[in-house]
Amino acid sequence: MKNLDILAVAAGVGICILLYCIAGRAERIKSTKWKLFWLLPASVLAFAGRFERSLLPLYVGIVILLAGFFREKTVFRRGLSIAGALSMLASVPASLLNPRYRAKDYTGDFQKGYDAMREHYVLTEYKGIDWDALYETYMPMIEEADREQDAVKNYLAWSGFCGTFHDGHVGYYCEKETMEAAARSVLGNDYGLAVMRMTDGRFAAVNTEESLRQYGIANGTIITSWNGQVPDEVSRQSPAWGLMFYYENEETGYETEFGCFPDIDNEIFYSGLLAAGVGGETVSVGILDENGMERTVTLPKIGEYYDRLFGTVEKIDHGVNIGNLEWQRTDQTTVLLRIKGMAYDTQSYMSGDEKSYREMKEKLTEALEEYKADGVKDVIIDLRNNGGGSPIMVKTVVSLFAPEGTYDCSVDGLWDDDRKCWVTDENGDYVPGKAIRCQGENLLDGGRVILLTNQACVSAGDFMVKIMRGLPNVTVMGFTEPNGSCQAVGGVNFRGGKLTFSNCVNLDPAGGILIDSGIDRQSTDDIDVQIPFDLDAIRAIFDEGQDYALASAAAVFSSTAEADVP
């Protein structure tokens, strides 16, 4: 039983005892003011929370006591006190025995989210969404979660539903504990290693336990099979395949742990990862030993895969750990600018006016001028794990590094205020509205920029990669492409969670959907140089703890002549 309900019943019974005690005195000492005491039970409602059927005896008890306001006989009022207290106490077993006591309305939440999404999701045709089929698949799962009041099942159903959109903006967010319990329930067992697909198509052990050395497995050991199958096939058999693990953090907002790959190339990059959780008490793993001979070892289960999987993703994908918009010198001629999110402060974030970013622009300009005076020529912008934010901030930052000139960045969809919808032409394509352009200021005086990105660089981060990749002085690098999701986002709040999805139209300057992947799952936000995820990368990341992507970017500047960089 909830604490507030216990408090309400206790307060109600306490009032009954009080009224029983003063009933005699109220009759002896005549005063109308005594009547007011019999209105006191109504105050119990202040603790009673939302209406709950199991608490009906409590509400009835309150009404019973109110009768004492009208009739002043001691016996009558004492009788009311006893009847009221008994009635109120009856709400305790009623609540404890009712399986739907304070039940969460998972079905209602899903219906609400589904209805809103079906009406407002802007990529329905582009992604070929079959709403009826989705409803038929996921509503029964939600209903089961509702019947059993199982938060984990509810989360997994939402996660599967959201995963089918292959859109980084479609997500279900709840408290971290539920997400973690759900993830643990489907990620499987830990056998002491994770498996990653290398750029050459082979699979390798990563993030391995020291104890696996006895089996001849270390970081970089080639994995030829997992339980007799190719690892990426095994991944597809994992119950976690296609799910996404998002949660809401009270301090930092929305957090994405793992699992949304709108661009299929990014999905392929991580295609071996889920395999390492699939298996029973033991698993047979095919490896290539030091002599290049294939052999099979049997690994025992040592725990849950949850921490190893997220730890692996963290090691591969983390960016430089400094504050947002902070600088870090990497060598004599290069400086790094970290952009974790597209937000400077609340005021500018809420504004659609570029002038609100004046302070940020001045600070960036001042810092860059100082670095230039100190010999810096080139800049690495670290956009890894950039969760997005304001497109106006993107425009402001891009303008600093872009060579002089005007650049078309994107175009909003045209909104029809009378019909309350995004305008489409006769082919069903969105009609362009206002354009976003930026004016290059060439602050680097011909210096070069490398943009580091990864699959967790999404939304406005995706947008920045897209614009800057079109600039002549910029090279985009990463193990993977950015996320591939760039329509603006809206959402629905429930009592137990939040649903977000793309509900505002962003087009590219030519009028097509900006960045987001369609039915073919190929986003239009690509990279210039894919950093090879090979044995060197694996050993650098997992044995030496290096930021291999950053080192690769810095190596481009230090080893390549200026003219060689695109």
Partner 1 sequence: MKDIIRAQLRQARRTTMLYIIFFLLAGSCAVGLLNATVDGASASAVTAGDGKLIAAFSLMFLGTAASWICGADLEDKTVNHEMTSGRLRRDVYLGRVIPAMAVAVTGTMVLMFMVFGITTALVGWGHEIPLSNALLRFALMVFPLLRLGAFSSAVTFVTKNRVTGFMVCLYAAMFSLPADTLPFEWLRDLLGNYLLLSPLTFGKLCTFDSWYVYGCADLKMHYIYYPELSGSLIAGIVIVSLIMTAVYLLLGYHFFHTDDLK
**Residue 31 sits in the site that holds partner 1 (CB under 8 A):** yes
User: Is residue 163 a contact partner of residue 241, using CB atoms and an 8 Å limit?
Assistant: no
Site string for partner 1, 471-510 (x = CB under 8 A): -----------------x-x------------xx-x----
Dmax of the chain from CA atoms?
A: 104
**Residue 392 sits in the site that holds partner 1 (CB under 8 A):** yes
* CB-based contacts of 364, cutoff 8 Å, min separation 6: 325, 337, 397, 400
**Residue 403 sits in the site that holds partner 1 (CB under 8 A):** no
In the structure, how many helices (H) and strands (E) does the chain have?
Answer: 17, 23
**Residue 76 sits in the site that holds partner 1 (CB under 8 A):** no
d(CA 8, CA 43): 9
**Residue 50 sits in the site that holds partner 1 (CB under 8 A):** yes
**Residue 420 sits in the site that holds partner 1 (CB under 8 A):** yes
Q: Please select the residue that binds partner 1; options are 6, 96, 133, 435, rule is CB under 8 A.
A: 435
Q: Which of these ranges, 226-234, 428-436, 466-474, 518-526, lies near partner 1 under the rule CB under 8 A? A: 428-436
**Residue 391 sits in the site that holds partner 1 (CB under 8 A):** yes
Closest by alpha carbon to 55, among 66, 44, 65?
44
Task: State the nearest-atom distance from the C-beta of 125 to partner 1, in Å.
Answer: 17
- Residue 115: CB atoms within 10 A of its CB come to 12
Q: Which of these ranges, 144-152, 218-226, 427-435, 464-472, lies near partner 1 under the rule CB under 8 A? A: 427-435
Task: State the nearest-atom distance from the C-beta of 447 to partner 1, in Å.
Answer: 28
**If you search the block for the tokens 């799962």, which residue do you land on?**
141
d(CA 306, CA 566): 40
Q: Which of these ranges, 49-57, 81-89, 210-218, 378-386, lies near partner 1 under the rule CB under 8 A? A: 49-57
Which pair of structure tokens corresponds to residue 246? 């998002």
Q: Within 90-129, which residues bind partner 1 (CB under 8 A)?
A: 116, 119-120
H or E element: which one contains 312? helix 306-317
**Residue 519 sits in the site that holds partner 1 (CB under 8 A):** no
Task: State the nearest-atom distance from the C-beta of 46 to partner 1, in Å.
Answer: 6
**Beta pairing partners, 246:** 256
Which pair of structure tokens corresponds to residue 566? 């695109």
> Any alpha helices (H) in 149-301, and if so which ranges?
151-163, 176-187, 231-237, 264-269
Task: State the nearest-atom distance from the C-beta of 145 to partner 1, in Å.
Answer: 23
CA distance from start to end of the chain: 65
Task: State the nearest-atom distance from the C-beta of 51 to partner 1, in Å.
Answer: 6
Q: Please select the residue that binds partner 1; options are 21, 39, 75, 519, rule is CB under 8 A.
A: 39
Residue with Cβ nearer partner 1 (329 or 437): 437
* CB-based contacts of 321, cutoff 8 Å, min separation 6: none
For residue 261, the number of C-alpha atoms closer than 13 Å in the C-beta half-sphere is 17
Which strands make up the sheet holding 529-530, listed edge to edge? Answer: 326-331, 334-338, 378-382, 449-452, 474-478, 529-530
Closest by alpha carbon to 404, among 444, 436, 365, 372?
444
Residue with Cβ nearer partner 1 (12 or 272): 12
Q: How many binding residues for partner 1 (CB under 8 A)?
A: 43
Task: State the nearest-atom distance from the C-beta of 67 to partner 1, in Å.
Answer: 11
Residue with Cβ nearer partner 1 (502 or 523): 502
**Residue 350 sits in the site that holds partner 1 (CB under 8 A):** yes
Q: Within 436-475, which residues bind partner 1 (CB under 8 A)?
A: 436
Residue with Cβ nearer partner 1 (332 or 406): 406
d(CA 492, CA 387): 19
- Which residues in this chain contact partner 1 in the complex, by CB under 8 A? 4, 31-32, 35-36, 39, 45-51, 69-70, 116, 119-120, 350-353, 390-392, 410-413, 415, 417-418, 420, 422, 433-436, 488, 490, 503-504, 506
